[in-house]
Homo-oligomer: A and B are copies of this chain.
């Protein structure tokens, strides 16, 4: 699998450079991050960037994938996997979002929520790329809530699509608040309030 590579070896660590790009895109978004900002932060020349990552759009998409695999963005997936009940999963997601989105060791909020809003029409495909991820996340939420209905955790009468969209909107609101400067202390009670909408369990038969 790891065939010996011919030609001159790369002088920089590709993953390390990609991590720098994630940082910049997370902080400034797609449009406001220029290629020269990127080459400066990654400490490589433009031609090396293009040789290693294709064009700016490809680099951004790869940065999004790297972001999704990194620790601060995986909390939702982990909560859905580990928590036994849907209520437990969504409560944990909101509580951990309040922490993760305000962690001062990295840019505020969620890269996928923040970084490709208001882009130039010529980059509409980038906007669509992130919108599709966001909508896919709402679909995952809906599936988990449907499962909870089947398991008897939620009554049949619950509109799972609406509830899933509500949680998606709550996360987006938390992300925006964090980007506007809210701290973890500010957002913790907001997350608790958001959890409060959870429907009453089915009546015992």
Point out residues on A near B: beta carbons under 8 Å. Answer: 28-32, 113-121, 131, 134-135, 159, 162-163, 165-166, 168-174, 176-177, 179-182, 186-187, 189-190, 193-194, 196-197
Contacts and interface: CB of A to CB of B under 8 A. Distances in A.
B119 A32 contact: yes
Contacts of A119: 29, 32
How many copies make up the complex? 2
A172 B178 CA distance: 12
Contacts of A115: 118
Contact of A189 (B28, B159, B176, B182): B159
B31 A31 contact: yes
Q: Interface on chain A toward B: helix, strand, loop, or mixed SS?
A: helix
Nearest to A159: B189
A131 B169 contact: no
Nearest to A174: B169
A186 to B, nearest CB: 6
Contacts of A131: 180-181
Name, among A117, A171, A182, the residue most crowded by chain B CB atoms within 10 Å (CB to CB): A117
A120 B168 contact: no
B117 A118 contact: yes
A131 to B, nearest CB: 5
21 contacts: A28-B118, A30-B118, A31-B31, A31-B118, A32-B120, A113-B176, A114-B117, A115-B118, A117-B118, A117-B176, A131-B180, A131-B181, A162-B193, A165-B177, A165-B182, A165-B186, A172-B176, A172-B177, A194-B197, A196-B196, A197-B197
